Structure 1
Amino acid sequence: MRHIGAGVALVLAVAWAFPVYWMVNSSFLSVTTITALTPTWVPFGGTLANYKNVLQGSTGFTDALLMSLGVTGVALVICIVFAFLGALAISRFRFRGRKALVLAIILVQMLPAEAMFIAQYQMISGLGLLNTLAGVSIIYVAMVVPFTMWMLRGFVAGVPADLEEAAMIDGCSRFGAFMRVTFPLLAPGLVASGVFAFLQVWNEFALASIILTSEQQETLPLWLRNFAQPSSLGMLEWGQVMAGSTLVAVPVIVFFLIVQQRMTQGLVGGAVKG
């Protein structure tokens, strides 16, 4: 039975990884090779021309990369701060309206995002923040905070308040006890929650297409959509599209490599503490 489970897991892993491999493989091939009837499984004798064409200034990749990094960085920092403070308030304090706040968080997550597009567009337009980093960051923070707060709530609730009280008895202030005892225990949970928030913001397309209507102000998903257009001869440069897709995925891979260990600890901790 164990071998059957391992075999099924291996098949699923290959099925999941194959599109990624094919994307990277195709990014080193010419259009003629990609569209040939015989597939090329290994890019021996491949070329870096596709990457050079993508990275040249006229494509706008660099501007879109900086926009995505800026939006993701701003939204992620603000989201983690607000979600963390909200999770602390819900888990550690009893106040009037607490249950209503928890219910509101759940209801917001149940609403389809498309139902709020018109209201969000009118709000950002009224503030004069269309096609700006601030405008799309505000929308992303509002989109990600409820889920992140709910996820962090489980981690905060899993750390006994008695640990802080014991540190306060030993002479620490309330803030000092929190920073020295509780916060280190919550760090893996913050990383795990931050990873999910990062993925939501980095890969988001629909909202960005509404708020960022200018080609001079676009995130990488929007840039890739506009870049993947047929040339004047009616031919789509698949090699360049795959190269662009690979470059869009690189920051995500780097981010995962940096936080991999902490994220694993956070996911396991969240599963155990509930």
Structure 2
Amino acid sequence: MRPTPAARCGTAAATAALLAFTALPVYWMVTSAFDPRAGARGAAPLPSGFTLDHFRYVLAEGGFGRFLLNSALVGTGTVVLAGALALLAAVAVARFAFRLRTTVLVMVLVVQMVPLEALVIPLFVQMRNLDLLNSLLGLTVVYLAFSLPFSIWMLRGFVAAVPREVEEAAYLDGCSWSRMFRSVLLPLVAPGLVATSVFSFIVAWNEFVFAFTFLQDEGKFTAAVGLHRFFGQHTNDWGAVMAGSTLITLPVLVFFVLVQHRLATGLATGAVKG
């Protein structure tokens, strides 16, 4: 049954309203970043002019380039380590039979249910005892722990969807397990790796609470913590805040554009075969 014109118009209006509601904060952020009078803009829908002074300030005087580099290092480390460890763990729980395998999978889900805020103090004490406070490596380890449960659970579905006969055929052709893993299994689960990598990157790039708690040296601040420096006790530099927010958003957008095709394929495959 074809929808009526009224139904189509209602759907179009609802879609347009949803897009406007979603895009308005982004529009306000970007236009305020280029507005020379961002702090006094008020509710004006259009900026008062165009300037790059806010970006020059946050990158030069604010040291935001260093903060972006720190976030990139932490994000890259989290993505690489989470992808490698989650894939090996997913192969173990999907292919190997061992005692308490179901218990391990249930524990992976239980970890996802714990509120992150409840872990701030225990992780702070643990990082202090391991001498990893005020360290980008320690922050990467924390983000890795947050990313692994979701990554393992999702990649398990991709590994389980690969027929065992494909692996057995590789063995019959003379492949070792490492060669089979590299040449057969890894390409087949690559879409799942992309999907989990996006999740891991977003966790590491946008997280604020743990980075703000664990890092004391200003030279090691991530971008989310560095943005907080532009908020004052009595006043806020809205031009710098919006410019910094725009700079934080750009790498995520670029990352999504580069992997969007594989991300969509990975999510669809995981939904059907997981």
Alignment of 1:156-195 (within 5 A): 156-195=159-198
Structure 2 unaligned residues grouped into runs of 5+: none
Range with greater deviation from structure 2 (261-270 or 170-179): 170-179
Residue 14 of structure 2 corresponds to 8
Alignment of 1:263-274 (within 5 A): 263-274=263-274
CA deviation vs aligned residue, 1:100-151 (integer Å, no higher than 9, x gap): 2112111111112222221111111112221111111111111111111111
Residue 78 of structure 1 corresponds to 81
Contact between 1:34 and 1:40, CA under 8 Å: does it hold in 2?
A: no
CA deviation vs aligned residue, 1:174-222 (integer Å, no higher than 9, x gap): 3333333322111111001100111011111111111113323211111
Residue 71 of structure 2 corresponds to 68
How has the CA–CA distance of structure 1 residues 168 and 246 changed in structure 2, closer, same or farther, with 3 Å as cutoff?
same
Distance 1:98 1:123 in 2: 27
Is the aligned partner of 1:198 residue 2:232? no
Q: Secondary structure at the match of 1:64?
A: helix
- Taking only the aligned residue pairs, the percentage that are identical comes to 43
- Aligned residue pairs, count: 268
Distance 2:126 2:56 in 1: 40
Residue 87 of structure 1 corresponds to 90
CA deviation vs aligned residue, 1:74-119 (integer Å, no higher than 9, x gap): 1221111111111111111111221221121111111122222211
Distance 1:7 1:84 in 2: 43
Range with greater deviation from structure 2 (170-179 or 86-95): 170-179
RMSD: 1.9
Letter of the 1:26 counterpart: S
TM-score by length of 1: 0.91
Alignment of 1:185-264 (within 5 A): 185-229=188-232, 234-264=234-264
Letter of the 2:18 counterpart: L
Deviation at 1:14, TM superposition (A): 2.1
Distance 1:30 1:81 in 2: 46
Residue 36 of structure 2 corresponds to 30
Q: Secondary structure at the match of 1:39?
A: coil
TM-score by length of 2: 0.91
1:148 to 148, 151, 173: 151
Distance 2:45 2:116 in 1: 40
Range with greater deviation from structure 2 (168-177 or 103-112): 168-177
Letter of the 1:144 counterpart: S
